[in-house]
Structure 1
Amino acid sequence: MPEHTEEKKGKKVEDTGPVILSGVFVFPNGDRYEGEYIQQDGSIIRSGRGVHSTTDGSVYDGEWADDKMNGVGKLTHHSGAFYAGEFVNNQFHGRGVYTWPNGSSYEGDFVENKLEGKGNFTDTEQQTWTGQFRYKAAPGLHFQLRLQ
């Protein structure tokens, strides 16, 4: 069981729903969570807004449900790469932007952590390519010409 401090926020999800609490937890592996949670059967379940920091320097700041990243948030890796967008069950799923440490980025659809669907890739020279992405393939991309 992680060490923690807590404060009651005094709000209920519904009249019959669990009480949302707020606190700070340090897990046995050194990870730290600060945010909203519920207690269920003696367990702490991250639920609501919160920030989880790992010992390797990765940080997730966003929405939680069922003790998983669910909703909108930002996950920053220790490498400097980051994803900002929608999460479902700890995966990039929905609309989002992934930015690599070199500054290139993909903005578009994600399905289970994969670039999947319509999106735009911007390279390190700030040139943008648009089209359909299929995980690691992107046949038929179109270059977006920017005249200034």
Structure 2
Amino acid sequence: MSEKKKGKVTESEEEGNLQVSYIFPTGDRYEGECCRSIEGVVVRSGMGKHTSASGVTYTGEWHDDKMNGRGTLEHPSGALYEGDFKDNMYHGTGTYSFSDGTKYCGSFSKNRLEGDGEFTDSQGLVWIGGFHNKAAPGLKLKLNM
């Protein structure tokens, strides 16, 4: 919540952390933990929930005013990501459930499917292999016997 952002802050200080309820000028809301930077600016840090005016909700860990660590990002469409974040992006291991019922579980790098993973299609079939952004050459059908 940099110096440029304005809104309503209510804070209660506990052991160096701040608990805030903040409304951004855009209509976005944040409730959770914050801390003061060296410059004295309040930034999101710790556990918190951010809801955008468009209905996207992130619940999870924050560091340096960014989604960093484990969390869940829910879209109004019904799509859902649960997993690791780095600098506001899907990065690490996670599961992305698409609104059409399909699902990807595996590695992400900078918001892209990257590395080993499993894709469950709309018929419930599970495909495993290496994913590289939008390509997944050589996927194999996983048989459950």
**What residue number does 1:22 align with?**
19
Runs (5+) with no aligned partner, structure 2: 1-5
Deviation track 1:80-128 (CA, whole Å, cap 9, x = no partner) reads: 1111000000000000000100110000000000000000000111110
> What's the TM-score once normalised by structure 2's chain length?
0.92
Structure 2 residue 1 is matched with structure 1 residue 3: no
Which region of structure 1 is more displaced relative to structure 2, 46-55 or 34-43? 34-43
For the residue of structure 2 that corresponds to 1:55, the secondary structure is: coil
What is the CA–CA distance in structure 2 between the aligned matches of 1:38 and 1:2, rounded to whole Å?
Answer: 17
Alpha-carbon shift at residue 35 of structure 1 (Å): 0.1
Task: Give the aligned residue type for 2:34.
Answer: Y
**What residue number does 2:93 align with?**
95
Which region of structure 1 is more displaced relative to structure 2, 99-108 or 138-147? 138-147
> What's the TM-score once normalised by structure 1's chain length?
0.91
**What residue number does 1:15 align with?**
none
Alpha-carbon shift at residue 55 of structure 1 (Å): 0.7
Alpha-carbon shift at residue 42 of structure 1 (Å): 4.1
Task: Give the aligned residue type for 1:32.
Answer: R
Task: Give the aligned residue type for 1:38.
Answer: C
Structure 2 residue 68 is matched with structure 1 residue 70: yes
Q: Percent identity?
A: 47
Alpha-carbon shift at residue 79 of structure 1 (Å): 1.2
Structure 2 residue 40 is matched with structure 1 residue 35: no
**What residue number does 1:81 align with?**
79
Provide the aligned length of Structure 1 versus Structure 2: 139
Ranges of 4+ aligned residues in structure 1 off by more than 4 Å: none
What is the CA–CA distance in structure 2 between the aligned matches of 1:122 and 1:39, rounded to whole Å?
Answer: 43
Alpha-carbon shift at residue 3 of structure 1 (Å): 0.4
What is the CA–CA distance in structure 1 between the aligned matches of 2:86 and 2:48, rounded to whole Å?
Answer: 16
Task: Give the aligned residue type for 1:8.
Answer: E
**What residue number does 1:105 align with?**
103
**What residue number does 1:114 align with?**
112
Runs (5+) with no aligned partner, structure 1: 12-18
